[in-house]
Amino acid sequence: MTERPSVVVTLEIAEDLMLRVREACDVVLLPAASVGNASEFAAALAEADGLLMSQPAPITGVLLDVCPRLRVVSKIGAAYERIDVPAATAHGVLV
């Protein structure tokens, strides 16, 4: 049996979409206050395979250094300037 991917979700999404995510992944819901706390955010992502976010949390090379399993960052919204795309690419993380 293969291990299900773990996804950190930092936003409220439509119930039908959340059901689809839960069917495929183990979901960790992270409250906005934890996203704003760098150490709590890093701790939640340390064992995650994916991140589904809307808050403008910075995704930096330093954060990615402590997230060895992270493979996908999905940002809901128009802008992703707070995601260090070159660092994500260097870590093998899709944005």
Instruction: Indicate the average pLDDT of the chain.
Output: 88
For residue range 31-61, what is the model confidence (pLDDT) as tens digits? 877 888 889 999 999 999 999 987 668 899 9
Report the pLDDT value the prediction gives residue 90, as an integer from 0 to 100: 94
Residue 2: pLDDT band (50, 70, 90) is: low
> Pick from 76, 56, 14, 53: which is nearest to 22 by CA?
14
